[in-house]
Amino acid sequence: MTSPRNARFFLPIWLVALTGAAHASAADTAAHARHFPLWVVVPFLGILISIAVFPLINARWWEHNYGKVSVFWLGTTFVIMLLARPAGVPFADLFGGTIFHTYAEYISFIILLGSLFVITGGIVIRGSLSGRPVTNLAILGIGTVLASFIGTTGAAMLLIRPLIKSIRWRQQQRHIIIFFIFLVCNIGGSLTPIGDPPLFIGFLRGVPFEWTFALTPAWALASGLLLAVFYLLDRHLMKRETGVPPDMEQKGIRIEGLVNIVLLAGVVGSVLFSGLVKMGEIHLGLGALEIQNIVRDAVMLALAGASLALTPRLLRAENNFNYAPIIEVALLFVGIFTTMIPALMVLNARGAELGIDSASKFFWATGILSSFLDNTPTYMSFLETACGLLGMTVTELLQSPQGALFLKAISVGAVFMGANTYIGNGPNFMVKAIAEQEKIRMPSFFGYMAWSVSILIPIFVLVDVIFFL
């Protein structure tokens, strides 16, 4: 396992590169980005191909070197941006603000994932979890509903360990984790702004909190079909099961480490706090940090520390808790966040040129890009595209039948299609890492996509036909 010290490698690079103040306006930056050559996306394609191919070529080498690969593509991104900037335009003026905010978002992203990982790692669910199809269906169904109210990350981290524990005796396991990623890590988070970051950003931009309940029909259709397919598949594979189920007495479900439930609620509350309360900004030259976001991140770190202090070590030992999964996610996603910078700048600058002028096109464009890029800035880029296309503000967009339909398509595409790849949403990779730590052989990057294309895409086509065409 790569040491977390590798994460320090990127710090001098961007700190040196960003010496000075960023004075370029958003309009100036967009104007320059419109003329970037297409090869600015090479680092992003490079890290994507690395994640997909290297584990297939030499899994052991990848396990020990993925951090170095991530840092390599991170450094390459800065070289690419230096080469792509117009002559005479200072690097910091053009990229400084974007890079500053990208790393601010990355730090908040890791703090959220890390705090939820630590807190849920202290929760042990006991009882008659048999690992049979009906039990598995119940866990996935509960997680699909819960994800909208404690976030996809919170629901995934809360339920993945009890699920793995219940299916430990089974030989047929990977399909259960795959459907867990489909439902709990992604589609389940559609109903409230708490569920998934793009919807939360929409809420901050003026979309009413309750508006996301308008996505319920699409959520119900996709979730219902996936749960039905899962149950039929799991029941079929159960007939071929060669594993020996443990002798189980019928016992009620009980939860230990209850203090962590309170701490988990604290994390959700801190996220809501940062969206509802405005406390001003701290200006740091390259950009500004909102004070309420700093408070939110500090609270989440404090809650994680409280969990470590208050949870008996035996409970964490029972969960096989260690920091390897969160370290892997942190090291890979610092590279992903960095390499996305030029790609997202081009998308933001040229999104209106893509010819997207219908709800169906918004659904697929947002969804496909959200499968590989961070779904939050992708959502924002297409939200701005929709506003520009109709000449409306976000508030006016919601009052227009066509505008509201565009926003539904963008929202559903961003949330649902994060399930298409391992990197489409942070919880996807976290769940994969935890499953592999528990000796469950997960599909490769392309192997997972074979599952998502064959199962999810037909459902998404149906969603498109019913709701957006």
Q: Is the pLDDT of residue 19 over 80?
A: no
CA distance 197 to 358: 24
> Region 406-427: what's the mean pLDDT?
93
Q: Is the pLDDT of residue 201 over 60?
A: yes
Q: Is the pLDDT of residue 33 over 80?
A: no
Of 450, 433, 440, nearest to 185 by C-alpha is: 433
Structure tokens at 284: 């740091």
CA distance 387 to 393: 6
DSSP sequence for 266-283: HHHHHHHHHHH----EEE
CA distance 469 to 465: 5
Torsion of CA 392, 395, 398, 399, to 10 degrees: -80
Residue 21: φ, ψ to 5°: -100, 150
Taking only the tens place, the pLDDT of each residue in 310-358 is: 999 998 988 888 888 889 889 988 998 899 888 878 777 776 677 788 9
Higher confidence at residue 106 or residue 93? 106
Contact 90, 32 (CB under 8 A): no
Q: Say what the pLDDT of residue 340 is.
A: 85
Rounded to a whole number of angstroms, the distance between the first and last alpha carbons of the chain is 48
CA distance 161 to 435: 9
Taking only the tens place, the pLDDT of each residue in 357-382 is: 899 999 999 999 889 877 877 888 88
Strand partners, 288: 283
Q: Say what the pLDDT of residue 31 is.
A: 64
Report the run of H or E that residue 290 belongs to, with start and end. strand 288-290
Higher confidence at residue 217 or residue 154? 217
CA distance 2 to 60: 12
* Residue pointed to by tokens 């404690």: 150
User: Which structural domain range is residue 197 located in?
Assistant: 4-243+251-467
CA distance 83 to 49: 22
Contact 100, 18 (CB under 8 A): yes
Strand partners, 124: 256
Of 205-209, 238-242, 264-268, 454-458, the range with the highest mean pLDDT is 454-458
Q: What is the pTM of this model?
A: 0.82
Contact 199, 193 (CB under 8 A): yes
Question: Where does the pLDDT of residue 252 fall: very low under 50, low under 70, confident under 90, or very high at 90 and above?
Answer: low
Of 78, 17, 70, nearest to 47 by C-alpha is: 70
Q: Is the pLDDT of residue 16 over 90?
A: no
Question: Strand pairing of 254-256 and 281-283?
Answer: unpaired
Question: In sequence order, what E strands does 127-240 have?
Answer: none
Q: Check residue 88 and give left, alpha or beta (phi > 0: left; psi -120 to 50: alpha).
A: left
Domain count, the chain: 1
Percent of the chain with pLDDT over 90: 42
Q: Say what the pLDDT of residue 198 is.
A: 86
Residue 384: φ, ψ to 5°: -65, -35
